[in-house]
Structures are given as C-alpha cells and as structure tokens.
Structure 1
Amino acid sequence: MVLLEQTVGSGSEIVVLTINRPHAKNALNGELVEGLKQTINRLEQEDRAMAVIIKGAEGNFAAGADIKEMATAPEEKIAEIAGRVGDLHEQIASSPMIFISCIEGYCLGGGFELSLVTDIRIAHADATFGLPEVNLGILPGGWGTQLFTALAGSSNAGHYLLSGEFFSSERAHGMGLVSLCTDEPYEESLRLAGKIAAQSRPALWAIKQLISGQQLSVLRKGLKSEREHFLALFKDGEAREGLAAFMEKRQPTYSRGAGYGE
C-alpha cells in the first residue's frame, strides 16, 4: 500500500497518514495523490478526525514528485497530474481538519509543496528541504512558488526557487517555513495533535479559515498563473530535456529558451 492510515490515542480524533513508497524515498505519484484525496474525503464524511498528521515511511517525508511518471507523459497527462495535485491541495486547505506535516529526511519538490499546504510543519533537526524543479527545466507547479513566497518572502523564495539549492531545517525554521525543529518530530506532532484535538472544532475551523483561507484568497490569481506557466514549460520550454537528463544522469543541454515569454 502506498498510503498507511493509523488512528492514535484513546479516541478517534487523531489520524496518522504515512506516505509509504520508501523504495522511491516516498516520491509522490498519481496513485498516492489519489489515495490521499480519497482518504481525506472519507475522514471528512466520517466526521471524526480533528487532527491529521502526514508523515513519510522509513526516514523521509517525500523526495519530490515521481519523475519517471512525468518524464514520458504527454501534455494532456501532465495537465491531469497538475490538476489532481491542485485538487488535493485545495482539499487540505479547505478541510475543517487540522493538518500537521511531520518531516524527516528529504522534503523536496512536490513533497515540500504538500507540506506547505498543511497547517503546521514540524521537522527533524536533520531534515533537508528544497524546490529543485528549476534543475529539471520546470517550476514548482503545486502551489510552491506562491506559498514559499507568502511564507518566507520574495528574496528567500527567489534564492531557492531560482537556484534549486537545498536548505536545512534550521534555515527553514529561520524563514518561518516550519514551526519547530526537534530530534523527535513524530512525538512532538502527536503531542500538538492531542492539544488541538481537545479544542472546540468550530473555533479551530474559524482560526484555520482566518489564517489559510484569507491567504489563499490573496494567492488565487498567482496559483492560476503558476499552473499556466508550469504547463507552458512542457509545451514551449525545455522540460522534456531537463527530465530526460535527470533520468539519464547527465547534464541537460538547454537552448536557453530563445524567444520564450515573448
């Protein structure tokens, strides 16, 4: 199974969802994204969970999207994948449940974007973050450009989005991307989830709407533009070369996109 579900504590208010593709460092593929969507929908219908912890199996959160799945996909499939990811992120952002990302190891690309959509991020002191899509000739198409900028500021976002460089938990904490760095992220996630689950559900939902709901209302135009540019890179840019080079473990040969954006 690519997604494991566990109810913790004496009640059923806290649910732990584990991304379970350790052979691929928990890279997000279509099956996993669809599994998350269906599971979250079911939890909302059951109306029992108040806090949901998302973590990765065997020491990594998620090392990006599944490059193999994207490398040979036709443009319509790429659009479908982007739409599916966008739907998942919209679902998390608009859910009355509170989502906590428990981050260990690699939290990169699409995995990092997934964590940015959650309400709270708690990271291991040795976790590694990044949005390295530019190294593949593409851009973060799952709200990454907009949420990174909103949370960390345009200069910090520009530094890491344009260079594709990784950064540490300490740096992520300094930029306000995670609330806590600790050697025991799962224990801290459970502790915090327990405190949250003991609160008034209407109060939690009101606070979440005021934090993330207002933020998203401001970002809507940017999110739409991000999706358009992401898809355009597959049509007019050099995404195919970047992805192929990654798969073949070589340096990409770009034409520098002469005329792109005119």
Structure 2
Amino acid sequence: MAEGGQPRALTTAFAPPPPLWKHFTPENIKRLEQIKKEASKGADGKPQKKKWTPAQLRGLDLPPELRFLVPPAIPTSGHYSVFGELQSLSTALPSLQEQGITQLYPSTPTTESDSKSSSEPARPLNHAYYLLKISKSLLLNFLEFVGVLSIAPEQFEAKVEDLRNLFINAHHLLNLYRPHQARESLIMMMEEQLSRTKQEIEDMDKLKAEITGVLNRLEADGKATQASAQADKDSKKKSAKDEQAIEDARLIWNLLDEKIIS
C-alpha cells in the first residue's frame, strides 16, 4: 500500500489488456448495429446507408456496455505511460533546458528578435560539427573516468554525470534530425514507388508490343491464307471453264461428224 492508504499502481513490461475488452462480444456488436440501423431511418421509415463516425456514435443514446465499443476521441494533450515512464503527447521536441539538463551546444535562433539582435544574418546550426565535438569529449571523459576509477574510485559520480550529460546532448542533437529523416524516408519511398510504377509501365508497353506483333502476324497469315484460298478457287473455276469449253468443242465436233456422215 502507498502513502495515504491508496493502492500502489503496478507497472509491467507487458501489461494485460484493459477490462473493456470483455464488452466486445458478438451480441453487443449485433445490438450496436441494430441501434445504428434504427438511428439511420429516414422520414419514410426505411433505413438509409450511412457511414457512422466515432463522434456521431458517441452522440447516440447507448447503453453503458455498448459505449466501450465506440472509439474514444483522439487526445490532443496530456501524458501516457511507457514502461513506467511518462511520455508527452506533444510531437514537439522539448528543449534540454525544459528537462533540466545543461546544453553543451548553442541554440538556433527561433524568433525574429534573436535573429535581428546581431548585425549579421543568423547561420544555421552545424549539428555535425557539435556532434563530432561531443564524440571527442565522450572519448576524453571516458579516459578520465577510467583514470579516476584507478586512482580514486569513490569520486566516480562526477565523471558519470559528465558522461550522462554528453550522451543526452548527443541524443538530443540526433533527435533534431528526425523531421529531416522522416522527409528523406518519405522521398525515398515515393521515388521507389515511382520507379516501380515506371518499370510496370515499361513492362506493359513491352507486352503490348509483343501482343501487337503477334496480332499483326496473325493478320498477315490470315490475309495470305485468304489470298491462297481465293487463288485456288480462281484456278478451280478456270479449270472448270476450260473443261466446259473442251466439252462444248467436243460436242460441236461430234455434231459435225454426224452431219458429214449422214
């Protein structure tokens, strides 16, 4: 028990699901769908197709056990716990001063007064330069830490605090690049998608060319076959006419022969 008689909150690496999962039963889901159908009826009493949003569902008069089935509103402020540590919902990176940590590199001017306080225009902060300096300071402080442990081990706390401060400053500098990293990752993904789409279009064009070539060959073969069939037909007609002419000539000669004999 904690002080004041209040139960102490237990934190685990893998916490169990919240108790509300017990309300996600087929019966409750069916009841919620029936309530949505009843609420979507028009003036004629017929249910209309409607896509319900969580905000609209929260506006319905639902029983307590069905309210857990409706997604809550997305929080915009506050904190949440991760492995026992409170994390802020804000996406802005808090400064080292706000966290009570000594900052070992200069800050970038963020307001117009800061940039106008100097006669020269403000230059962007060279993070790589200060990361290199912090890395060298880490090596030097680690050597000093080893020396302190070999001479006076009881005085290690000061050097451990210096190393901790250097690591936090280096980590904070790296976090400043997170938006840039996200943009570059998005650009890379879009470029990969574009190149993949171009490759698919090229493959489709090649396939189209192959299909067109096959169709052209089939058309040419069909025309050649048709021409050959027409030529055979014409030759057959010509041979039939020649045979008919020969037969007619034979009949004429037979008639002449009969007249001469008679």
- Which TM-score band (shorter chain)? under 0.3
Q: TM-score, normalised by structure 1?
A: 0.17
**Greater RCO (CA < 8 Å, at least 6 residues apart):** 1
**In terms of Rg, which structure is larger?**
2
Structure with the higher fraction of residues in strand conformation: 1
